[in-house]
Structure 1
Amino acid sequence: MNSSMAPAKYQKPPQLPPKFTATTESLIADTKRLIDRSRGVQDAIVKDVSKEKASFESVLLPIARDDNKMAIESHIIGFYQAVSTDQALRDASTEAEKLLDDYGIESSMRQEVYDLVDAALQQKEELDPESKRLLEKEYKSYVRNGLGIPIGPKRDRFKEIKKRLSEISIVFQKNLNEEQGGLWFTLEELDGVPDDLVSSLKKGEGENEGKIWLTFKYPDLFPTLKYATNAETRKRVFIENENKCNQNVPLFKEAIMLRDEGARLLGYNNHAEFRIEDKMAKLPKTVDDFLGDLRTRLAPGGVKEIAKLLELKQADLKERGLPKETDNYFLWDHRYYDRLMLERDFSLDQQKIAEYFPLQTTIQGMLKIFEELFGLVFIEIVGEDRDALADGGKGSDIVWHKDVQVYSVWDDEGEGSGFVGYLYLDLFPRDGKYGHAANFNLQPGYIDENGKRRYPATALVCNFSKPTPKKPSLLKHDEVVTLFHELGHGIHDLVSRTIYSRFHGTNTVRDFVEAPSQMLENWCWTPSQLKSLSHHYSHLSPEYEAAYFESSGDTKKPAENIPHELIANIISTKHVNDALFNLRQLHFGMFDMTVHEPESHEALEKLDVSTTYNKLRKEISKIDGPEALDEPGKENFKWGNGQATFGHLIGGYDAGYYGYLSSQVYSADMFYTVFKADPMNGKEGRRYRHTVLEKGGSQEEMDTLEDFLGRKPSTEAFYKELGISK
């Protein structure tokens, strides 16, 4: 509901939302002020505390409190580069983030602070569990940042490596965000691609008269790979997309070389060993065994799926009177024939399904599910209520763009009616905006120095198609799943209750962080939930109703909720070509491990990364790339540089991409054990909220999981769900 209609107790949040009124100057000035304050806190500790007097309270608490205050501003400073429409503001945000990263490296390498943290650890004080964890993690992070390396050239080199890696990661992501590539196509070449998309594309002039410009952004790319009937078009789009950011190729290679060198300086055998040590898996061997076992179990399924898809491809070419190509099933065939199979064998009509999931009603439906499960209330803040919260400013000050929706989130009466935090939704593509779907923490929650709770703010940034006068934004089922998944991260971020911002919300280890959101995806495959989420767009307004009749030629209005047979169709397709989907994830995960656990530094230097990437994909997924058209024995795997478009491995998932798969093991286990029988069980929902989500990263994630399951986790449910249990 919106705020003006909300019960009085939900109208006035106890904490004002942040403002988004930064200028290029203020971003840099604020960043310098934060850095100066933080440096001052550390200087004071070094000056005033002797090793003998070092304790949690004298050394770690002031640093943790400074971290808390820093996060309240720094996350937003870095957020502008993902969402601002102003190039100068995005650049300043990137610049500010670089300053913060450099300062982070400098402060994480302060010998005299490390010595005091070490001394505090030696005190072996009785601390509450979260403070004890903070002390241990803080100590370990100094060691991992090179302070275990004796002072001298080796340590200086390690510091240089850290700095350069931070630069690489910023430039790599910026190249991806600012990527403006695309291809000119004639209308004929785009035959089959949905009209809505084709009519929205830029028209060519001059030498490109009569052509249209197709970019590599998801809303252009995926429908083209899914629907373009011309295989040559799909091939061009696919290969060019793999080559859209080739300036990242040398950066990727440099990053893996530097990581390897850094890990060896710290005394590890490789970067994977260094990274996995403090995750749930603990050892690279655990990860390699898990991925290897999964590959063995999935491989036969993948081969079967390809055989069926190839059959479909041959039949399709024959039907269209086209010559049979070769007996290959290509990478650029997959989205097309996967979709065709779903339509033919399962009569799954994505466009028809999308009519039942207009973006706004779907979001309302999702929020309702979270309200029922977790005991929450979402109040949309609109109009004058925005002005009231802008603290003397304008209502537009509390959002970064006019399209952004903002909600205040509360506990319902059963949970005590307290304030929870702010949720923002930024749903449509814009130039220069972050191109995928993600959840960004804007401000973490924590307990401040007066023992008062500070509340979080979190944002969902997505790229769904914009509404038009004839059609609202309509979501395909996979987009409904994506939205629910990202909203899951948002809820995790909102309901978390930790003492320190460092452990807030999704600040868990990487091989667990996806589990809570992946578990919630199950609700999008549950008939009753799908029905309650759906709302045919012709029921939204007389204008949309008229437009529907006009475009569909129907004379009768469809039912308001999605009919059972469509739901049954969706659910029957959950595991279609699932082995291939998971083998694709496995390719990313195994490639990630391959480049991060080389036999030696020299071996890594010789490694041809692009060849490794493409060859591994062929070996694992069994789908052909262009190399299949080469002479046998002379296959050239250098046709694309997918690793250069793969932000995850540079942006924090290095030696961690397997986390998507291992999180799925945990999420399947939680869902099957606790929710499958009754997905809307509010008692279990609240137990999940308090046992799992609330804890954030404030305790060992394995303990969190065991508390909730009442036992150690098992892979059984995951394999059962995939239909490959032994």
Structure 2
Amino acid sequence: MAQNKEKKLPQAAILFNATATSILDEAKGLIERVRKAQDQIVESIQPETATFGNTLLPLAQAENNQCSTSSILTFYANVSPDEDLRHASTQAKNLLKEFDIESNMREDVFILVDAVFQKNEHLDPESKRLLQEKHRGFIKNGLALPATKRHRFEELHKRISQLKIEFQKNLNEEDGSIWFTQNELAGVPDSVLSGMEKVKDGNEDKVRLKFNYSEYLPVMRYALSCDTRKRYYISFFNRCNQNVPILKEIIVLRDEAARLLGFSNHAEFRLQDRMAKRPEVVNSLLDDLRSKLTTGGGEETENLKQFKKADVESQGEVFDGHFYLWDYTFYTQVMVEKDYSIDAKQVSEFFSLEVTTQRMLRAFENLFGLVFIEINEDDKVELVGNGMASKLIWHEDVSMYSVWDEESEGGEFCGYLYMDLHSRKGKYGNPSTWSIQQGFVGPDGQRRYPAAALVCTFPKPTPTKPSLLEHQDVVMMFHELGHGIHELVSKTTYARFHGTAVVEDFCETPSIMLEQFCWTSALKDFSQHYSTLSPEYRKAWESDQTSAAVNSSSISDQISDQTIQDLIRTKGANKSLYYLRQLHIAIFDMTIHQPESHDIAKAMDISEVYNSLLTELISEGPQGLGHQWAHGEATIPHLVGTYDVGFYGYVTAAIYALDMFDQFFRSDPWNAQQGRRYRRMILEPGASQEEMKTLVDYLGREPLMDAFYKELGLV
């Protein structure tokens, strides 16, 4: 790593020094530059003289620059601590989306692109794919429609674009909460509650719980009070109800737009470019899985009911036989502790956030031949001077890395990785990885390098305890870092194909494959008990123990092999219910996007569809409140982003991922030779070729479902 430390960075890092005014000015300037490039092509090229080189290539170069610049401008909306910046970034996103619609509906540009398409020039595979996608994109955006219908189509797309931005802004800006007394939160670990806002209300201490997953999940897992879990669950899924009419309008407008293009519904329109191709393929898969999982899910629910029954009766009460949605997480944890001897709170002591992320980076180094070098404060000053050093990140919590190939892989620069891991107001709430600069080849033939950011909402450490990760958090972190690695090692000519820009039913595959490492003995490499990290932590840990005297050598540095084996055994626990929860959203996504008629789309009660499916597939909701007791559909960004008619992709991604892991990594997870082959064949191509080709080339055959069904215990 030291040898790379001395290397000169071939590309300047991003400066996050924007103002609300500059964001909007830069967005407008970017739009004008790209529009000017389009105008120049139209003015200078005729259909008979149009070629890939004089038409598509300059369009692609303008798009390359647009992608990277716009990604930075719109990223502020998700992470900036400044409300004005977030608002300006959202406005910029709206302007850029409207310009995308304008660009994709320029008939004069389409005429030239169509002329090139018809000439069938000999092109390299990625350029040929670019031409095909660009041509198909114009058709999808209504250029084959008569003028009157095209005008309506453009209106629909502009309105949908505005609504999507508003939906996401509402989620980002949501700052609701619910207050509980300390007694009502009995059972929740102090490490979870320590960083939360507290007030004195008479003789009672009250705690404010926000509506983010880093607080929600531990409370639902550990709060002993059923009433607490119920209140928090219902409040959590009513946290953004203003999005309900927004989502409904988007669904209706999407349906109208699809029918204008001659499709039966939006699902048929969207799936034409996905690996599945047709709605009936997706519906058949989901129906088959639903029938296979329903029996197992029922048995798993009955098993959890017995744990609830024992718990209720131990308190001297009579069990009424009901098992509610807010019972699932709590009694799954009870089951894991009793049947698998797993204490999740004790396990989390081995996975402090800072140490675990560093160990994960080391794992990626070894597996993929990479080197991560943290850019510290002195490095920042050296790079941009003392006055601008703080502008290399958007918040003081952010850590920044330069990423390189190791010397044996050529020692070349790969890009920049950022980690923004702690909760704050106005920040995007779901764990995610953002591409903030795409890689591509510039007009000078030189590579432009990517930048990716891992964004999470974990609580901050305290002087006596670091931020601790439960095992499922470790799995999630490895998954999200996997997306980041995909962005960093991808090598494509055009920005539109870079990294995770693959189709939605393949996008999660690489990261779900990497998740599997967290269910093997490789987990040991990520662990170190937090009490060994500092004398302060050791003292605090010892004082927390129930025993009056704690043997200072009673805890090992790393998690034990037996605990790892116990964790691995839990992977199969409630697996049918886990996938039924995935199917719930996937079936909802398909249902709302394939109504039999436009009138049915307009009349559809989406909350009723969502909640009725939820109770059919998973468990009971509140009694006597019908299907309007919560609006979870209003909290799912996938439904309005690029994952519309794509949530089923989490299931297909798992099928492909388990197939790959089973064949190449199960027997030897840290096999560097296999890791580098995976990097070259799965990660580097991005979307530059058909995703099924990528998968089949790597597997050496068509994908199989055997490993997936084995995972579910169905074979």
Query: For the superposition of Structure 1 and Structure 2, which TM-score range results when normalised by the shorter chain?
Result: over 0.9
Root mean square deviation, CA, Å: 1.5
Between the aligned partners of 1:390 and 1:44, the Cα distance in structure 2 is: 36
Residue in structure 2 matched with residue 616 of structure 1 by the alignment: 613
Report whether the alignment pairs 1:72 with 2:65: no
Residues 614-693 of structure 1: matches in 2 within 5 Å? 614-621=611-618, 623-626=619-622, 629-630=623-624, 636-693=626-683
User: Quick one: percent identity of the two aligned structures?
Assistant: 50
- Cα displacement string for residues 457-513 of structure 1 (whole angstroms, at most 9, x for unaligned residues): 111011122111101111110010111000000000000000111100001001001
Note the residue ranges of structure 1 that are not aligned, 5 or more in a row.
Answer: none
Q: Are the aligned partners of 1:371 and 1:377 in contact in 2 as well (CA < 8 Å)?
A: yes
Residue 490 of structure 1 aligns with an amino acid whose one-letter code is G
- Cα displacement string for residues 648-698 of structure 1 (whole angstroms, at most 9, x for unaligned residues): 101221111000110111101111111111111111111111111000000
The one of 114, 125, 130 equivalent to 1:134 is 130
Between the aligned partners of 2:318 and 2:199, the Cα distance in structure 1 is: 32
Residue 536 of structure 1 aligns with an amino acid whose one-letter code is H
Q: Are the aligned partners of 2:175 and 2:425 in contact in 1 as well (CA < 8 Å)?
A: no
Between the aligned partners of 1:459 and 1:91, the Cα distance in structure 2 is: 20
Greater shift, 40-49 or 671-680, is seen at 671-680
Residue 692 of structure 1 aligns with an amino acid whose one-letter code is I
Q: Report deviation, 1:208.
A: 11
Between the aligned partners of 1:608 and 1:8, the Cα distance in structure 2 is: 58
Q: Are the aligned partners of 1:496 and 1:694 in contact in 2 as well (CA < 8 Å)?
A: yes
Q: Are the aligned partners of 1:193 and 1:227 in contact in 2 as well (CA < 8 Å)?
A: yes
Q: Report deviation, 1:304.
A: 0.5
Give 3-state SS (helix, strand or coil) of 1:442's partner: strand
* Structure 1 residues 212 and 537: CA distance shift in structure 2, 3 A: closer
Between the aligned partners of 1:211 and 1:315, the Cα distance in structure 2 is: 30
Q: Report deviation, 1:187.
A: 2.3
Residue in structure 2 matched with residue 291 of structure 1 by the alignment: 286
Give 3-state SS (helix, strand or coil) of 2:414's partner: strand
Q: Report deviation, 1:548.
A: 1.7
Greater shift, 277-286 or 597-606, is seen at 597-606
- Cα displacement string for residues 588-625 of structure 1 (whole angstroms, at most 9, x for unaligned residues): 0001000011111112222211111111112222x111
The one of 403, 407, 419 equivalent to 1:409 is 403
Residue in structure 2 matched with residue 48 of structure 1 by the alignment: 44
Q: Report deviation, 1:205.
A: 6.1
Between the aligned partners of 2:372 and 2:308, the Cα distance in structure 1 is: 47
Residue in structure 1 matched with residue 539 of structure 2 by the alignment: 546
* Structure 1 residues 660 and 223: CA distance shift in structure 2, 3 A: same
Q: Are the aligned partners of 1:16 and 1:391 in contact in 2 as well (CA < 8 Å)?
A: no
Give 3-state SS (helix, strand or coil) of 2:335's partner: helix
Report whether the alignment pairs 1:328 with 2:322: yes
Give 3-state SS (helix, strand or coil) of 1:7's partner: helix
Give 3-state SS (helix, strand or coil) of 1:426's partner: strand
- Cα displacement string for residues 43-64 of structure 1 (whole angstroms, at most 9, x for unaligned residues): 0011000010111111111111
Residues 109-188 of structure 1: matches in 2 within 5 Å? 109-152=105-148, 154-188=149-183
Residue in structure 1 matched with residue 94 of structure 2 by the alignment: 98
Residue in structure 1 matched with residue 222 of structure 2 by the alignment: 227
Residues 294-693 of structure 1: matches in 2 within 5 Å? 294-324=289-319, 326-390=320-384, 393-527=387-521, 529-552=522-545, 553=547, 554-557=550-553, 558-621=555-618, 623-626=619-622, 629-630=623-624, 636-693=626-683
Give 3-state SS (helix, strand or coil) of 1:427's partner: strand
Q: Report deviation, 1:412.
A: 1.0
Q: Report deviation, 1:202.
A: 2.4
Between the aligned partners of 2:402 and 2:552, the Cα distance in structure 1 is: 39
Give 3-state SS (helix, strand or coil) of 1:41's partner: helix
Note the residue ranges of structure 2 that are not aligned, 5 or more in a row.
Answer: none
Between the aligned partners of 1:105 and 1:580, the Cα distance in structure 2 is: 41
Q: Report deviation, 1:210.
A: 4.2
Q: Are the aligned partners of 1:390 and 1:397 in contact in 2 as well (CA < 8 Å)?
A: no
Report whether the alignment pairs 1:721 with 2:715: no
Give 3-state SS (helix, strand or coil) of 2:358's partner: helix
Q: Are the aligned partners of 1:10 and 1:410 in contact in 2 as well (CA < 8 Å)?
A: no
Give 3-state SS (helix, strand or coil) of 2:300's partner: helix
Give 3-state SS (helix, strand or coil) of 2:576's partner: helix
* Structure 1 residues 379 and 210: CA distance shift in structure 2, 3 A: closer
Q: Are the aligned partners of 1:298 and 1:579 in contact in 2 as well (CA < 8 Å)?
A: yes
TM (norm. structure 2) is 0.97
Give 3-state SS (helix, strand or coil) of 2:492's partner: coil
Q: Are the aligned partners of 1:583 and 1:620 in contact in 2 as well (CA < 8 Å)?
A: yes
Between the aligned partners of 1:604 and 1:535, the Cα distance in structure 2 is: 53
Report whether the alignment pairs 1:201 with 2:171: no
Between the aligned partners of 2:26 and 2:337, the Cα distance in structure 1 is: 54
| Number of matched pairs | 711
Give 3-state SS (helix, strand or coil) of 2:178's partner: strand
* Structure 1 residues 165 and 209: CA distance shift in structure 2, 3 A: farther
Q: Report deviation, 1:174.
A: 1.0
Give 3-state SS (helix, strand or coil) of 2:313's partner: helix
Between the aligned partners of 1:77 and 1:676, the Cα distance in structure 2 is: 41
* Structure 1 residues 209 and 474: CA distance shift in structure 2, 3 A: closer
Between the aligned partners of 1:125 and 1:515, the Cα distance in structure 2 is: 33
TM (norm. structure 1) is 0.96
Between the aligned partners of 1:378 and 1:195, the Cα distance in structure 2 is: 33
Q: Report deviation, 1:265.
A: 0.3
Q: Report deviation, 1:91.
A: 0.5
Give 3-state SS (helix, strand or coil) of 2:147's partner: coil
Greater shift, 10-19 or 475-484, is seen at 10-19
